[in-house]
Structure 1
């Protein structure tokens, strides 16, 4: 996969975040912490490439960067922002649920591809990816609560929504773990 794919995903995400933060009068972006997202999303998107670069320097190997894995890790951020830009979270009741399932599948597939070659046996990779997905889902929900639920309009429904989001995120991670483990077992 080409370097252009993760760069395009990053640029499209940042442009939408900038519009959401600095273009006045767009109601669908109100009270959704886009200022925090404008800082945190690009940083989170660049963690995996930065860690890979540091690790590859230490190993002094000249293997090609895993642009496909980087793209999978970055894709959920673009999907989240695009869903807000298209007003899908408010227009489609199940959009948030689908996002937690699919985005955790993409995110943990990318992470699984990055770490998978060094984890044996392959069933342990499936469990590790699932566990990482659950931990990341908890972190994500804590971040959502802190940035826009605790003082916002969604506090009354937050508990039920959070339980569903954690379940769907972990399920997406589980499927990712199984898919990546099966794929790496074949190679």
Structure 2
């Protein structure tokens, strides 16, 4: 049951049916894609880019939240939006390589670093229950989580294939740039929550004072007292 759909439309963590559909579809397509990549790395344009490791780690990331909820069984509603945000980076990386956007579009890799870190930072804010917290708290959580994910990704790339690829000569400069883009994405997530919360934070103007009753004794109007 999509319990979050009963929340206000301005709620940044409200869950709607389309979020559930997108999350499930992204996971199914991801599983199909990693299975194909594991059998034929050329299909995903991942030759020399650790296709086997991606086929293992991407499903682990995409099913992290379902696993935690299956084990812990918390009373809170399932965080479909956060789960979708965690699934999309793995899905988009495979899709981008499959249609060769990383090689054909010069800015695509930089954009993916910003967007992916933004999504992961936003997911962490939601999972931490801080979607409606103060901006400094959301910024702290998002940047801490986003930079941790960004660093983990760079270490993963370095260990998995960079040292054995033609990118080793430019790896250092690329890593520093990617980490900077990761910070930008994480900070953007906090700003987007601030914008999403803006309608909720607007103060409702006070109601005009009611006129004093002609019968302060509480007797009904028109009675003889």
> Where on the TM-score scale, by shorter chain, does this alignment land: which range?
0.7 to 0.9
Q: Where in structure 1 do 4 or more consecutive aligned residues deviate above 6 Å?
A: none
Q: Which has the higher contact order (CA 8 A, sep 6+)?
A: 1
- Name the counterpart of 2:58: 41
Point out the more displaced range, 110-119 or 168-177. Answer: 110-119
Tell me if structure 2 keeps the 8 A contact 1:73–1:108. Answer: no
| CA drift at 1:112 | 1.4
Tell me if structure 2 keeps the 8 A contact 1:10–1:74. Answer: yes
TM-score, scaled relative to structure 1:
0.87
In structure 1, the gaps of 5 or more residues are none
**What does residue range 1-187 of structure 1 map to in structure 2 within 5 Å?**
1-2=16-17, 3-23=20-40, 25-26=42-43, 28-55=45-72, 57=73, 59=74, 61=75, 63-117=76-130, 121-181=134-194, 183=196, 186=200
**Higher alpha-carbon Rg:** 2
In structure 2, the gaps of 5 or more residues are 1-15, 202-225
Deviations 1:8-41 (A, max 9, x none): 1111112222222213654822101110011110
CA RMSD in angstroms comes to: 2.3
Task: Measure the CA separation in 1 of the matches of 2:140 and 2:41.
Answer: 45
The structure carrying a bigger helix percent of its residues is 1
Aligned length: 183
Per the alignment, in what secondary structure is the counterpart of residue 29 of structure 1?
Answer: coil
